[in-house]
Amino acid sequence: MSKPKKITFKAQDRHLYGSSPPVPASKAIPGWFKKLTNGIDPQTRNLSLKGCMPFLDAMKSGYVIPAPCDLVITGWTEGEENHWKADWSVPNEFDGDLIEPHSPDQLGDEPMQATGNAIPLKVRNMFTTITPPGYSCLITPILNDASLAIRGVHFYSGVVDTDVYEQQINLPFAFTDLSGQDVFIAKGTPLVQVFPFKRENWVMEVKEHSLEELRNFAQLMYSSFSGVYKRMFHQSKKYM
């Protein structure tokens, strides 16, 4: 077995001591998912999402950057202008602003901004992500969990070459709750998911399945009511 690659999240000592640090995504599975049963539906004979390995793998893969402390964001509209304010539990003299404005000029007609009902902001990330040579990171909203999005916090995705860019990567998002009500994000709430990956060149090809291939695959897939992918195809992935 090859030696695991190492990803490092580096921060000043006070953030290591007091903030919620990044964790493997497997340690940040949302409560709604944990409450699902493992059983088979007696009518459909299908497993719950807990038995869907691709769905679960997406939630368990990579690492999660959580809210470093309690955050509160409020947005409202006056006339034709959108306004916002934010607060956080850590005093400003220790860290400065943890939520900052993001230039709308950079976003142009990005769909959420084009509605006129979104405010571009960013969370200051206190941790620098460092990967081995040849490895980058995809930073994306938490997969299969829209808890923040339905509350008006829509993080954007990005790929950063974290083997050479050893700087803090802030987390831009669109804030769409302009109701004037406080949106509270508790310390430790998962904000984004980080996937380290090896940079490689790829070439695309489009081909047609033969009828025999499709028949053989269908025979295998329907050899059991459920769990075929987990038993016959799933490969272990570890993020520690």
Could you read off the pLDDT of 62-81 as tens digits, one per residue? 999 999 999 999 999 998 89
Query: DSSP secondary-structure letter at 168?
Result: B
Residue with structure tokens 């340690």?
27
Q: Which residues contact 110 (CB under 8 A, 6 or more apart)?
A: 174
Per-residue pLDDT, 92? 61
Q: Taking the model in full, what pTM does it have?
A: 0.88
- Mean pLDDT along residues 140-154: 97
**C-alpha to C-alpha distance for 142 and 64, rounded to whole angstroms:** 8
Cβ contact 66:82 at 8 Å: no
The answer, yes or no, to whether residue 45 has pLDDT greater than 70, is no
The most distant pair of C-alpha atoms in the chain lies apart, rounded to whole Å, by 68
Per-residue pLDDT for 225 more than 70? Answer: no
Confidence band for 156, pLDDT divided at 50, 70 and 90: very high
Report pLDDT for 94: 56
3-state SS assignment for residue 51 = helix
